[in-house]
Structures are given as structure tokens and as C-alpha cells.
Structure 1
Amino acid sequence: MKKRPYTYAFRNFGSGFLFGIGLIAFVDETVFHQLLAWHHFYDRSTLKVGLFSDGLFHAFSWFATVASLFLLADLRRRQSFWLKRWLSGVLIGVGFFQLYDGIVHHKVFQLHQIRYGVNILPYDLTWNIAAAVILIGGIVLFSQTQKRKRLAEEGG
């Protein structure tokens, strides 16, 4: 018997959220830390410490991604995977992580900047506005799934 996906709404969202965090952390690490070499996760020390912090950050991204995929596999096994709810979690995870990185890591704790030796304002604006747009898109998608869940619960 196929289960109703809203029964596992939180698990669908949580799996997507973890996947979104793991995905954007992986992209950030790969593109900005390795390929472009604009910064390290922690730039307030030596290069060796910066590279070590990148390794920890990279491991974190993979742990989040693998955990999300285990949750996803469980949802599929239970025939309770809800794609729209999962995608809302992915978008919220990506937007949340990127906004958290841009505000908390870059500005509050000053662990690193997006880039050094340039006018940072355009980079900050692009980074944080993109994060906000992605986050808002995820929230809109999430609210649509909430309406469907409520209607399904009211209908029996």
C-alpha cells in the first residue's frame, strides 16, 4: 500500500535540507576554495591551517550529503518520497547556508571573505542577494506543500 507523502513531510523536508547544505558547501569548497583559490574556510591563520579547515569543511559537506541520501532512500523504500517537499528543503538548505556563510562567516566572525584584493561590495551583494532569492523560492515551494498537507489532513 502506498503511504501518503505528507505522513513523512518533515523527513522529506529534512532530507532535502541536508542535501541542499551538502550541495552548496561542496560547490563553495570546489569552486571558491579549490578552483578559483579565492579563500579558505578559515583565513585568519597560516596556509596550512586554511587548507586543514577546507578539509574539515569538505568532509562536513559530504557527511550532510550522505546523511540526506540515506533519508531519501528510506523515504523511497516507504514509498513516501514527496519531490516538491524535498526540493523545497533543498532550496531552503542552499539559501540558508549561503546566507549564513555570507553574513555570519564573512561579516560577523570574519573567518574569510569571498575574495581579497578587490572591492568586496559587489561580491557580497551578489552572494547574499542570490542566497535570499534561493531561500525565498524554497519558502514559497514549502508553503505550497504545507497547503497540500493541510488539505489532505482535513480531508481524511
Structure 2
Amino acid sequence: MTATRVETRDPRRSMIAAALLGIGAMAAVDEVVFHQLLAWHHFFDWSTPAFGLFSDGLLHAAELIIFALGFFMILDIRGRQALAPRSAWAGFLLGAGGFQIFDGIIDHKVLRLHQIRYGVDNLLIYDVVWNAAGVILIALGLLLARRSSGEGARAGRP
């Protein structure tokens, strides 16, 4: 007689772990594309270029730590066969969109650490596109989270 192992998926932990991956991934895209390749801004633009570069390094270190934490959490969840894939994808999109909105509103407008781009006539277009991208990611994450609501049910594994 073969025993059937019953595992319970963990949508909450799957979503949290993947949200950390989403935050880290979007921070990396921002830092690599907009800070390094396009050189539109640094994380902290109120000081010297050298300090701006240093602040980018701090952002990069933080994004790597957050990404690694999410990665190891996902490995743990998968190792326990409790990964809820749709919840994880929802968390990834929510984390990425949340980072985008936080950066666009808090970093750019409230704290004024930097703008998206300097030396342009109409910054509003950049702000709208930046924040709209975050809203789209969050909306997709919420839609996927809603569709994954039954993912915590028990799944039999031979």
C-alpha cells in the first residue's frame, strides 16, 4: 500500500516571498537602467556626483539583500512543496508595482531625493508614465491574487 503525502500550499508566504523578489527586481531595473545606463539621476541627487554614485551603491546593496531574502524564502517554500504559483506571481507583480509607486511618489515627489530625469521641458509626462507603470503592475497583481484565492487548498502528492 502506498501512502499519499498531503501538502498544503502556502499562498500567503508564497506572495510575501515573491513580493520581495518583485521589489528587488524592480529596484535593480531602476538602478541599472535609469541610474547607470541612461544616467538620468542618482538615488540621492542633492549632493556631489561622487555622493550620488555612493547612494546608488547603497540602493544596489539593498536591492540585492531584498532579492536574496525573497529568493531563499521561495527556495524554502518550494522545498516544503508549499509554493502557490499564482499567489507567488501576484506577489511579484505587487512588489514590483509597489516599488515603482513608492519610488515615484515618495522618493520623487515627497522626499525629492531625485527626479526621473533632469533637463527636460515636461517632467509631468515622465512622472505619469512612471507611476502608471506601477499602477498597471499593481492592478495585474491584484487581479492575479483574486484569481488565486483557492490556491491554499490541500493538494495530494503521490
User: TM over 0.5, yes or no?
Assistant: yes
Give how far 1:67 is off: 0.5
Identity %: 45
Contact 1:2-1:80 within 8 A present in 2 as well = no
Aligned residue-pair number: 149
Work out the CA distance in 2 between the residues paired with 1:16 and 1:2: 24
The answer to whether 1:121 aligns with 2:116 is no
Moved runs in structure 1, 4+ residues, more than 6 A? none
Choose which of 74, 91, 94 in structure 1 pairs with 2:93.
Answer: 91
Query: Aligned with 2:115: secondary structure?
Result: coil
Q: Which residue of 2 aligns with 1:40?
A: 42
* Unaligned ranges ≥5, structure 2: none
**C-alpha spacing 1:2/1:35, structure 2 compared with 1 (3 Å):** farther
TM-score of the aligned structures, taking structure 1 as reference length: 0.92
Provide the rounded CA distance (Å) in 2 between the counterparts of 1:67 and 1:10: 16
Equivalent residue of 1:95, what SS? helix
- Residue 18, structure 1, aligned to residue 20, structure 2: yes
Unaligned runs of 5+ in 1: none
Write 1 or 2 for the structure with the bigger share of strand.
2
1:145 Cα deviation from its structure 2 partner = 1.6
Please state which structure has a larger fraction of its residues in helix.
1
- Residue type matched to 1:17 in 2? A
* Contact persistence 1:91–1:134 (CA under 8 A): yes
Letter in 1 for 2:146: S
Quickly say closer, same or farther: Cα 1:75–1:109, change in 2 above 3 A.
same
Partners of 1:27 and 1:133 in 2: CA distance:
17
Match of 1:9 among 8, 11, 21: 11
Specify the alignment match of 1:77 in structure 2: 79
Instruction: Return closer, same or farther for 1:18/1:43 CA change in 2, 3 Å cut-off.
Output: same
1:2 shift after superposition:
4.4
Q: Cα RMSD over matched residues?
A: 1.3
Structure showing greater relative contact order (alpha-carbon pairs closer than 8 Å, 6 or more residues apart): 2
Secondary structure at the residue paired with 2:43?
coil
Determine which of 140, 145, 151 is the counterpart of 1:142: 145
Query: SS of the residue aligned with 1:3?
Result: strand
> Separation in 2 of the partners of 1:76 and 1:82?
9
Letter in 1 for 2:127: D
